[in-house]
Amino acid sequence: MTDSRIPTVRLGDDGPEVGVQGLGCMGMSFAYGPSDAGQSRATLERALELGVTLYDTADAYGAGENERFLSPFFKAHRDEVVVATKFALAIPPDEPTRRIIRNDPPYIRQAVEASLRRLDIDVIDLYYMHRRDVNVPIEETVAVMADLVREGKVKHLGLSEVTGDELRAARSVHPIAAVQSEWSLFSRDIEAGVVPAARELGVALVPYSPLGRGFLTGSFADAETDLTDDDFRRQQPRFTGDNAAANAALLEPVRAVAEAHGATLGQTALAWAQQRAQVHDLPVVPIPGTRKPTRVEENTAATRIVLTDDELALLEPIAGKVAGDRYADMTFTSAGRE
Ligand SMILES: NC(=O)c1ccc[n+]([C@@H]2O[C@H](COP(=O)([O-])OP(=O)(O)OC[C@H]3O[C@@H](n4cnc5c(N)ncnc54)[C@H](OP(=O)(O)O)[C@@H]3O)[C@@H](O)[C@H]2O)c1
């Protein structure tokens, strides 16, 4: 494995310069079964050595636990890292296991203060609206986020799982550095509306779950039999039962392309996500999630793989054949509102 640092790219017309691949930190505290804190810390340090500078968290990951876990790393490397966190998935006081979407100004104000406290930093580099509450005009939400920029609590703004029209409305209020939405060989619904709007407006795309939550690496085949009881992927229709079996068969062309490059399945999936930048003519910074230093080495090495037109053509039909939605409730996604 070489030690080469990955190249950098600007995150949208007015955004920060970041390594062309970021690191998703969610799994270190949440969603994907037990984590080893020492391994996760080593992963963060190794990622930084390899030129990864965009680190992705959210207040909802482990109800604040992920932000607290990352804080010492961010503080130790404050000038080298771009800290991205999110608000909008709130815990109702009487139901600690449920999440509701809140985009209203009073909620945002208390959420940003809580994130700054847990992260123990003075300013958040990139602050995303995590999910859209359709009962609050997006202009109202972004106006408060813009106030946070003016007040010096936040440097750049982002949105997650918005439609193209919502992005346009948001951009009319304040520059948006990035849209973070699911984008992978298995999930391409954002290419119809959001991606063209982002290109038009000078907004970067930050694909989340670019490894299909691990399924595209072949590391699990059926969430119900292969993953722990508390693993979030057991709730996702495409990863269980007949859907999972049908979807595993879709990895065959990925395997063929991987072999041609002497690469892994995961590297091929990441190279495909990275190449969306050229295909759609906009900055793209995937944020694969891992808790293992060797995997961060493997994943960043994918930035050096360039797929040919024939290989892209072989991979093209996969997303259209995937069985089962990416969430149990698709109204939680931009696809549910397009
Ligand atoms: N905005 C949103 O709504 C939203 C939603 C989901 C996620 N996100 C963000 O996006 C980030 C990435 O998405 P994700 O974590 O859901 O999915 P992902 O990056 O597609 O996949 C992560 C899974 O793949 C495994 N993995 C990573 N590298 C691997 C490799 N080289 N070989 C084999 N397995 C590998 C990880 O296991 P190990 O950790 O054990 O290595 C983990 O189980 C998250 O961390 C989070 O920050 C945002």
CATH of the domain at 17: 3.20.20.100
Please report whether residue 87 resides in a domain.
yes
C-beta of residue 159 within 8 angstroms of C-beta of residue 146: no
Q: Which two tokens stand for residue 279?
A: 């295909």
Contacts of residue 242, Cβ cutoff 8 Å, sequence gap at least 6? 323
Check pLDDT > 70 for residue 170. yes
C-beta of residue 129 within 8 angstroms of C-beta of residue 160: yes
* Residue in 187, 138, 135, 136 with CA at minimum distance from that of residue 159: 138
> What φ, ψ does residue 182 adopt, rounded to 5°?
-70, 130
* Residue in 69, 22, 7, 14 with CA at minimum distance from that of residue 208: 22
Please report whether residue 326 resides in a domain.
no
* Residue in 144, 158, 146, 147 with CA at minimum distance from that of residue 54: 158
The CA 215 to ligand 1 mean position distance, Å, reads 10
Q: Ligand 1, atom 31: nearest CA belongs to which residue?
A: 295
pTM for the structure as a whole: 0.97
333 lines ligand 1 (CB under 6 A): no
Check pLDDT > 50 for residue 175. yes
The mean pLDDT value for 322-334 works out to 91
The CA 147 to ligand 1 mean position distance, Å, reads 32
What is the C-alpha to C-alpha distance for residues 181 and 184, in angstroms, rounded to an integer?
10
**What's the full length of the chain, in residues?**
338
Check pLDDT > 50 for residue 207. yes
215 lines ligand 1 (CB under 6 A): no
* Residue in 206, 208, 168, 175 with CA at minimum distance from that of residue 13: 175
132 lines ligand 1 (CB under 6 A): no
64 lines ligand 1 (CB under 6 A): no
The CA 26 to ligand 1 mean position distance, Å, reads 7
The CA 236 to ligand 1 mean position distance, Å, reads 14
Pick the catalytic residue: 61, 107, 127, 128? 61
Decide which of 93 and 55 is more confident: 55
Task: Note the pLDDT of residue 3.
Answer: 56
Number of domains comprising the chain: 1
The mean pLDDT value for 206-224 works out to 97
Please report whether residue 329 resides in a domain.
no
Please report whether residue 201 resides in a domain.
yes
Query: Measuring CA to CA, how many Å separate 19 from each of 9, 10, 23, 34, 318?
Result: 6, 9, 10, 28, 28
101 lines ligand 1 (CB under 6 A): no
Chain-centroid distance of CA 335 in Å reads: 16
Q: Ligand 1, atom 30: nearest CA belongs to which residue?
A: 295
What is the C-alpha to C-alpha distance for residues 138 and 157, in angstroms, rounded to an integer?
13
Please report whether residue 328 resides in a domain.
no
C-beta of residue 153 within 8 angstroms of C-beta of residue 121: no
Neighbours of 317 (CB within 10 A): 10
Q: Which residues pair with 206 in a beta bridge?
A: 180
Please report whether residue 19 resides in a domain.
yes
Q: Which two tokens stand for residue 145?
A: 């986020």
Q: Which domain holds residue 203?
A: 8-220+272-304
Task: Note the pLDDT of residue 117.
Answer: 98
Query: Measuring CA to CA, how many Å separate 297 from each of 4, 288, 323?
Result: 10, 12, 31
Mean pLDDT of the chain: 96
Please report whether residue 194 resides in a domain.
yes
By the 10 Å C-beta count (0-12 exposed, 13-18 middle, 19+ buried), 169 is classed as: middle
Using DSSP's 3-state secondary structure scheme, residue 176 falls into coil
The CA 32 to ligand 1 mean position distance, Å, reads 9
Q: What band does 91 get if pLDDT is binned at 50, 70 and 90? A: confident
Neighbours of 121 (CB within 10 A): 18
128 is catalytic: no
Please report whether residue 74 resides in a domain.
yes
Query: Measuring CA to CA, how many Å separate 181 from each of 20, 62, 72, 195, 256?
Result: 16, 20, 27, 10, 27
Check pLDDT > 60 for residue 182. yes
103 lines ligand 1 (CB under 6 A): no
